[in-house]
Structure formats: structure tokens, C-alpha cells
């Protein structure tokens, strides 16, 4: 029954994200529709109207109208018996069209494949979406390592982990804004703000960032910035691996390799 459907455990985060989007939105209905699509995308099973409305703190009747429109546009499907909602194939069509046109993903893939194979790691390309999120748009996995759970389309806070240090070092953002966002992050072993600032400065000097167990215990993350036209930070190349396997000389080699690969991609993307 619809009343028993489960929603993602982070429902407060869904509502908070929508509230922040609505503050800046010129078309609230579009923001609510996008929030519903994201919630359904993160849910492991179909969800009912009341559960969606409760999670996003939307008036149920408004939620129902938006869902009906999304069904008509083939972005969402509804089970006629259970009245539960899930994503439909229209979303896949949009994703395929975007991936086929994304230049970064195409030119980054060979480098990611080589790095994953050479070092036995997961190699990822992420797109930066302002100070809000980084989205995985390309990736390669080694056959030899433990598989870490991430996939194309996964989103992460923009200021988290090694990629977040790259954003702080090379993104030309207001420091106070960065500090406010830093304080809201969730880490397994959180650095202090002073430690984080020191790591950001090291990132600026080295040309790549390292997160050794801060974001995820036992996991090391390395990231290097990729710039687009006008030297604007647009993407990062990221390596994720087991900390015990990424030590000392190996870690330095990976950082240098990422930095050089990211520089080559930046040139191809018109950074000059």
C-alpha cells in the first residue's frame, strides 16, 4: 500500500535541499519537480504520494499535480494498482543525450581507464556544479581492487574530500562562504577548519589534493583540477582507493599522474 512505502533515510536533507532551491528559484514548480525526480532516483523502490510529500515537505495536492505532469511527460511512472511512483524511461533518454554530447566525459575516459588499470584504483571524472555539488560523469574501475560504491550520476557535496580542496584552492570562491559550507559537511574523521585550510594551501602548491581517511575511514582520495575556457575550474579527476594500498611513493606518483592528465584535459577543453 502507498502508506507503507519507504523513502530514503535522508529525508531531512531532501527537504533542506528543496528549501534552499526554492529561495533562489524563479519557478518554484520546476524546483519541486526536480526535487521529486531526485528523491525517486535515490529511492530503492517505488514511493507513494504521501511519502514523497512528507519527505519534501510539499502540500500533498501540489505533489500529486506535479507527479501527474511528470507521468504525462514520461519522466515518472505510476503503478495503477499500488499508486506508487518511480522514474520512467524518459529520464534515461535525457541522460543518454547528455552523455553523448558531454565532451569532457569522452576525452577523460582514456585517461581514467589507464589510471585505474595502472594503479588498481577507481578513477572518476566529476563535474563541478557551483558550490553545491560535484556529479560523477565518467569513471573506470580496476578489476583487482575492492569495488567502491559510486556510479555515473552520483552527487557529492562540492566542498567534501580531495575534490572539495581543489574547489577551495582553485575555484576563486568567497572564503566565508566556503567556511560555512565546510561546517555543514559530514566526514568519518573531520579535519578542523585550520587543518582543512592548510590542506587547501598544500593543494594549491602541489596541483593536486589528498584526503587520507577524512571523508571515508580507510579510504584515500586524490583529486586534480581540470579547467575550461578562461581557466575556470570545471571538473576534477579523482582517484579512490584503499588507504593501505596508496602510501608514500605510490601516492605521490598518482598525484603527479593526475595533475599531468588534468593539465592535458584542460588544454583540450580550451583552458589555454
Per residue in 112-154, pLDDT tens? 999 999 999 999 999 998 888 899 999 998 876 555 667 888 8
Convert the pLDDT of each residue in 49-99 to its tens digit.
999 999 999 999 999 999 999 999 999 999 999 999 999 999 888 877 777
pLDDT at 5: 42
List the grid coordinates of 204.
594549491
Look up cell 583540450; give the residue: 268
Q: Are 220 and 210 in contact (CB under 8 A)?
A: yes
Please indicate whether residue 36 or residue 11 has the higher confidence score (pLDDT).
Answer: 36
Domain ranges of the chain: 2-91, 102-268
DSSP assignment of 52-91, as one string? HHHHHT--HHHHHHHHHHHHHTTSEEE-TTT--EEE-HHH
Are 128 and 236 spatial neighbours (Cβ–Cβ below 8 Å)? yes
Element (DSSP H or E) covering residue 108: helix 103-119
- Give 13's pLDDT tier (boundaries 50, 70, 90): low
Name the pTM for this structure. Answer: 0.73
- Classify 102-268 by CATH class: alpha beta
CA distances from 233 to 57, 59, 70, 116, 174 (A): 34, 39, 34, 23, 15
Give pLDDT, residue 133: 87
Q: 3.40.50.2300, 3.40.50.300, 1.10.10.10, 3.60.15.10: which CATH number matches 2-91?
A: 1.10.10.10
Amino acid at each position: 500500500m502507498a502508506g507503507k512505502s519507504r523513502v530514503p533515510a535522508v529525508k531531512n536533507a531532501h527537504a533542506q535541499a528543496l528549501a534552499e532551491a526554492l529561495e533562489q528559484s524563479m519557478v518554484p514548480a520546476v524546483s519541486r519537480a526536480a526535487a521529486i525526480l531526485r528523491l525517486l532516483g535515490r529511492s530503492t523502490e517505488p514511493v507513494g504520494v504521501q511519502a514523497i510529500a512528507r519527505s519534501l515537505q510539499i502540500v500533498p495536492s501540489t505533489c500529486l499535480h506535479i507527479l501527474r505532469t511528470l507521468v504525462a511527460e514520461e519522466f515518472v511512472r505510476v503503478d495503477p494498482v499500488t499508486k506508487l511512483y518511480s522514474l520512467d524511461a524518459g529520464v534515461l533518454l535525457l541522460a543518454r543525450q547528455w552523455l553523448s554530447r558531454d565532451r569532457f566525459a569522452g576525452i577523460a575516459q582514456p585517461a581514467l581507464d589507464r589510471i585505474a588499470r595502472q594503479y588498481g584504483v577507481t578513477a572518476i571524472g566529476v563535474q563541478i556544479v557551483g558550490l553545491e555539488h560535484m556529479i560523477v560523469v565518467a569513471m573506470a574501475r580496476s578489476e583487482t581492487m575492492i569495488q567502491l560504491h559510486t556510479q555515473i550520476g552520483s552527487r557529492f557535496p562540492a566542498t567534501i574530500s580531495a575534490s572539495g580542496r581543489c574547489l577551495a584552492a582553485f575555484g576563486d570562491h568567497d572564503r566565508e562562504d566556503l567556511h560555512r559550507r565546510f561546517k555543514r559537511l559530514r566526514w568519518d574523521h573531520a579535519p578542523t577548519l585550520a587543518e582543512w585550510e592548510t590542506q587547501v594551501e598544500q593543494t594549491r602548491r602541489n596541483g593536486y589534493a589528498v584526503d587520507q581517511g577524512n571523508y571515508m575511514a580507510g579510504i584515500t582520495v586524490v583529486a586534480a583540477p581540470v579547467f575550461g575556457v578562461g581557466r575556470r575550474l570545471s571538473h576534477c579527476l579523482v582517484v579512490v582507493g584503499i588507504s593501505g594500498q596508496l602510501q608514500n611513493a605510490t601516492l605521490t606518483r598518482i598525484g603527479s599522474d593526475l595533475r599531468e592528465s588534468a593539465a592535458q584535459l584542460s588544454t583540450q577543453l580550451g583552458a589555454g
